[in-house]
Amino acid sequence: MIYLKTQEEIELLRENNILVSQTLAELAKYMKPGITTLELDRIAEDFIRSHGALPGFLGYNGFPNTLCISVNEQVVHGIPSDYVLKDGDVVSVDCGTFMKGFYGDTAYTFAVGTVADKTAELLRVTKEALYKGVAQAKAGNRVGDIAAAVQEHAERHGFGVVRELVGHGLGRRMHEEPEVPNYGARGRGPLLKEGMVICIEPMINMGTKQVVFERDGWTVRTKDRKPSAHFENAVAITKNGPDVLSDYAIIEQAIKQQQQ
Ligand code: MG
Ligand code: MG
């Protein structure tokens, strides 16, 4: 069942996704060598609670923390720990909120200090792939149009597209229908309709597309242990085209301020 949202509901989803984006912007200040991923998790939890929301991931299917933090070869669902960030790391931070009956779900992959050129390219291409997917999020298109746009862009650069994990509808539940894969064929899959809200979230590997599920029950990593990147936007399908509910501008402004 795909739930279509009213404009009022879309605005509540926007509030949530802006708060998640603000949380990620706050974390950008601390994304430096020497901090542990568990410290980042505490900062995010305090920030979310002080803004009147609940961490959306904490306790979700038993997940133990506020953030999924996935470093380097970790793809998604990494558990915050005493791991200390170092120069050259890439850190995927996936964050959720729950407020006013709706969820927020947005992710960004940060570079710590100076990363290898090829790694910087992986981050750039993965974010571009997200934007290519978002551009297809229009009423009358199908989920396969999004999926194919993401896949083609990543593979054109020789990167691997993860198959096992997919985007999803977002609303009163964190994961609603439809599934939104990052691979597929144009013109296939569920029809996109005005009022749908979906999360588009490419998970792109530098090397093989194959992944391994770690024994902690959560962490997904690349099979070849090469780096992976993950970017996620929540997007509403409207009569005026895609309405992006996440806000990368405030995250990237915060990153720039740290670099000055
Ligand atoms: Mg997410
Ligand atoms: Mg998601």
The predicted-structure confidence for 140-186, as pLDDT tens digits, reads as follows 999 999 999 999 999 999 999 999 999 999 999 999 999 999 999 99
Give residue 80's pLDDT band: very low, low, confident or very high (50, 70, 90). Answer: very high
Q: Which ligand has an atom closest to residue 173 CA?
A: 2
Q: Which ligand has an atom closest to residue 230 CA?
A: 1
CA of 187 to the centre of ligand 2 (A): 23
CA of 79 to the centre of ligand 2 (A): 16
CA of 171 to the centre of ligand 1 (A): 13
Is the confidence at residue 129, as pLDDT, over 90? yes
pLDDT, position 258 = 92
Residue of 148, 51, 141 lying closest to 104 (CA atoms)? 51
pLDDT, position 153 = 98
CA of 98 to the centre of ligand 1 (A): 13
Q: Which ligand has an atom closest to residue 24 CA?
A: 1
* Distances from the Cα of 197 to the Cα of 98, 111, 119, 245, angstroms: 16, 29, 31, 9
CA of 163 to the centre of ligand 1 (A): 16
Give residue 259's pLDDT band: very low, low, confident or very high (50, 70, 90). Answer: confident
CA of 155 to the centre of ligand 1 (A): 22
CA of 22 to the centre of ligand 2 (A): 17
Q: What is the mean pLDDT of the chain?
A: 98
Question: Where do the domains of the chain lie, and which CATH numbers do they carry?
Answer: 7-259 (3.90.230.10)
pLDDT, position 199 = 98
CA of 76 to the centre of ligand 2 (A): 10
Is the confidence at residue 260, as pLDDT, over 90? no
Give the model confidence (pLDDT) of 188-244 as tens digits.
Answer: 999 999 999 999 999 999 999 999 999 999 999 999 999 999 999 999 999 999 999
CA of 255 to the centre of ligand 2 (A): 22
Beta strand pairing call for 220-222 and 211-213: antiparallel
CA of 84 to the centre of ligand 2 (A): 25
Q: Which ligand has an atom closest to residue 68 CA?
A: 1
Q: Residue 4, SS3? A: coil
CA of 94 to the centre of ligand 1 (A): 5
10 Å CB burial of residue 223 (0-12, 13-18, 19+) is middle
Alpha helices for the chain (secondary structure H):
7-28, 37-50, 117-135, 143-156, 248-259
